[in-house]
Amino acid sequence: MKNIKMMVVGFASAVAVTVALSTTLLAKSDAPVVSETSVEASRLQSLAKFTKVLGIVEQYNVDGLSIDQLIDKALQGLLSNLDAHSTYMDKQSYESLKTQTDGEFGGLGITVGMRDNALTVIAPIEGTPADKAGIKAGDIILKINDKSTLSMTIDDAVGIMRGKPKTPIDLTIVRKGEADPLKFHIIRDIITVESVYTRKIDNNVLYIRVTSFDKKVAADVRTAIKKNAANSNGIILDLRNNPGGLLDQAVELTNLFVGEGVIVSQKGRNKADDVSYSATKSAKITDLPLVVLVNEGSASASEIVSGALQDLKRGVVVGEKTFGKGSVQVVMPITETEAIKLTIARYYLPSGRTIQAVGVIPDIVVASGEVKKHENQFNIKESDLKKHLESELQKDGGMIDVTEVNASNKTIITPEQLDKDIQLKEGVDIIKALIIVKGK
Q: What is the CA radius of gyration of the chain?
A: 28
Q: Of residues 300, 302, 306, 327, which has the active-site annotation?
A: 300
373 is catalytic: no
**Residue 325 among the catalytic residues:** yes
The residues near 384 (Cβ < 8 Å, ≥ 6 apart) are none
Instruction: Pick the catalytic residue from 136, 155, 232, 325.
Output: 325
Annotated catalytic residue 300: yes
Q: State the catalytic residue, choosing from 311, 327, 421, 432.
A: 311
Give me the residues paired with residue 266 across strands.
275, 347
Residues labelled as active-site residues: 300, 311, 325
